[in-house]
Amino acid sequence: MSSDSKPQTDLKADVKRWLKARGLDYRWLAGQCFVSEVTVYNWMAKKKIPEVKEHIIRSLMTEMPVTLPSVKVETESRVILQLPPDVQAALERKALDSKMTLTDFLATKINEIVREGSPASSSLVDEIEHEEFSEDKD
């Protein structure tokens, strides 16, 4: 895989998740990029997104981020996590797939663990890695 195709692959995956989270489709994106819907389908399937169109898409994603209201917490506390880049990326993808910010996603998962009294041997990172591995097999 060339160095150019990896960022394109990542971008395409991000675009698909972003469109889904925003409730948008390829037809909408095609209109924003002044191309046909078929062209967008081709980009997402196999063709390279031209640099000018990539710039438009990245600008749209920056201007229209996926955000949800913060989860209300009865007692406030601050947690600082230092995560390896690959774990952080996996968590960010899971948050985006859940239509949540990373902070809200982690707060929700921590609350679930506390409420359910999950065994200490099961960790969020293990859960994410298991789900990522399962998705890769599909």
Per-residue pLDDT tens listing for the chain (138 residues): 444 555 788 889 889 988 988 889 999 999 999 999 999 999 999 899 999 999 999 999 888 887 654 445 455 566 777 778 888 888 888 888 888 888 888 888 877 777 776 454 455 556 665 655 555 555
Are 19 and 9 in contact, with CB atoms under 8 Å apart? no
Whole-prediction pTM value?
0.47
Residue 80 covered by a domain: no
pLDDT at 130: 60
- Domain hosting residue 54, numbered range: 5-63
**Count of domains forming the chain:** 2
Confirm whether 70 is domain-assigned.
no
Report how far residue 41's alpha carbon sits from residue 101's, in angstroms, rounded to the nearest whole number.
27
Could you tell me if residue 77 is inside a domain?
A: no
CB contact set of 32 (below 8 Å; sequence gap of 6+): 56, 57, 60
Same domain, 92 and 125: yes
Domain boundary, last residue among 32, 63, 94: 63
**Same domain, yes or no: 89 and 128:** yes
Q: Is residue 99 part of a domain?
A: yes
Distance CA 44, CA 26 (A): 9
